[in-house]
Amino acid sequence: MRRIILCVLTYGFWLILTLPGGDRLVWIRHVTDWPIYIVGAVVAILAAVFFGGEFTHQPLSFLNPRRWLWAIVYIPVFMWHMLVANLDVAFRVLHPRCPVNPGIVKIHTDLKTDVAKAFLANSITLTPGTMTVDVDGDTLYIHWIDVVKDGTDIEANTKAIAAKFEKYLRRIFE
């Protein structure tokens, strides 16, 4: 069932992306352009076969409006944290003493699904000054531009790096 839903959603998205402009002549030509439909179907089927079981435990959870609302809320929150991190990194680079203390720290996540963990890892990596090096179960290893103290306090590292993203990702993906 998951694969069928993913195939239909992927094919529908393909059709939306390939829609022509508003000119009537273009619409007539587009209807006769059957290779577009075949390529779209092949891509949708391949995506469903290879990725159909990986993205969700409940196939219809993609359609939950509450999840979409939290995803929309997450975008400005993520952009804000990215802006703050950009300013922090710019300050460190432009500072005469270059106050950096880089290192790899361990953080713990309470997120359960692999998709949620992947989004968390990518959110951390896209934020300047941090980069996810490895994900091992519920543990993420992060390269951090300014490790606080000795960097061994997992709870403090988790709070500083991941907590700001986890509360939203939990509502979106779990």
- pLDDT score, position 31: 60
- pLDDT score, position 117: 92
- The whole-number average pLDDT for the span 140-144 is 93
- The whole-number average pLDDT for the span 7-32 is 69
- pLDDT score, position 83: 95
- The whole-number average pLDDT for the span 14-28 is 63
Q: What is the pLDDT of residues 61-114, one digit of tens each?
A: 666 788 889 999 999 999 999 999 999 999 999 999 888 888 899 999 999 888
- pLDDT score, position 78: 95
> What is the residue whose two structure tokens read 């950009």?
86
Say if residue 150's pLDDT is above 60. yes
Residue 107: C-alpha distances to residues 30, 52, 77, 91, 168 (Å): 51, 29, 21, 25, 17
Which is higher by pLDDT, 28 or 132? 132
- pLDDT score, position 52: 67
Q: How far apart are CA 46 and CA 51, in angstroms?
A: 8
Burial class for 32, CB neighbours closer than 10 Å (0-12, 13-18, 19+)? exposed
Q: How far apart are CA 109 and CA 112, in angstroms?
A: 8
User: What pLDDT band is residue 158 in, cutting at 50, 70 and 90?
Assistant: confident
Element (H, E) at 107: strand 103-108
- On average, the pLDDT of the chain sits at 83
pTM higher than the cut 0.75? no
- pLDDT score, position 94: 93
Candidates 119, 51, 129, 118; CA nearest to 85 is 129
Where do the structural domains in the chain lie, given as residue ranges? Answer: 2-62, 65-173
